[in-house]
């Protein structure tokens, strides 16, 4: 995401499926957590519910939060580069 913010791409114009590895990592973690939860509560694993819940919990927050996080990162990178330019050279 910092790469997207650093180069100034608008989150609406970038394709979220270009690098799907972060989403797949989140889905794997969510599947593991939901599997443990289902075993504890229902003592059985419901595969379709597992896939639906894990995908929903990984994909929706990624898409919703990507834009605001990129804007904040771009702002911080801009402020840091402006501060670096203002420092006196020795």
Give pLDDT, residue 24.
80
Question: pLDDT by residue (tens digit) across 40-71?
Answer: 999 999 989 888 888 887 778 777 887 888 88
Give pLDDT, residue 3.
53
On whether the CB atoms of residues 72 and 6 are closer than 8 A, the answer is: no
Give pLDDT, residue 53.
85
Distances (CA, A) of 73 to 1, 4, 68: 8, 9, 9
Residue 1 CA to its chain's centroid (Å): 8
Give pLDDT, residue 72.
87
Residue 86's pLDDT band (cuts 50, 70, 90): confident
Count of CB atoms within 10 A of residue 9's CB? Answer: 13
Give pLDDT, residue 40.
94
Distance between CA 25 and CA 8 in Å, rounded? 25
Q: Tell me how long the chain is.
A: 90
Give pLDDT, residue 57.
79
On whether the CB atoms of residues 44 and 38 are closer than 8 A, the answer is: yes
């Amino acid at each position: 995401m910092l790469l997207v913010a650093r180069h100034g791409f608008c989150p609406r114009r970038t394709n979220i499926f270009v690098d799907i590895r972060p989403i797949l990592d989140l889905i794997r973690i969510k599947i593991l957590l939901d599997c443990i939860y289902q075993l504890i509560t229902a003592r059985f694993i419901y595969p379709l519910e597992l896939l639906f819940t894990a995908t929903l919990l990984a994909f929706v927050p990624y898409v919703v939060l990507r834009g605001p996080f990129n804007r904040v990162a771009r702002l911080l990178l801009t402020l840091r580069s402006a501060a670096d330019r203002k420092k006196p050279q020795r």
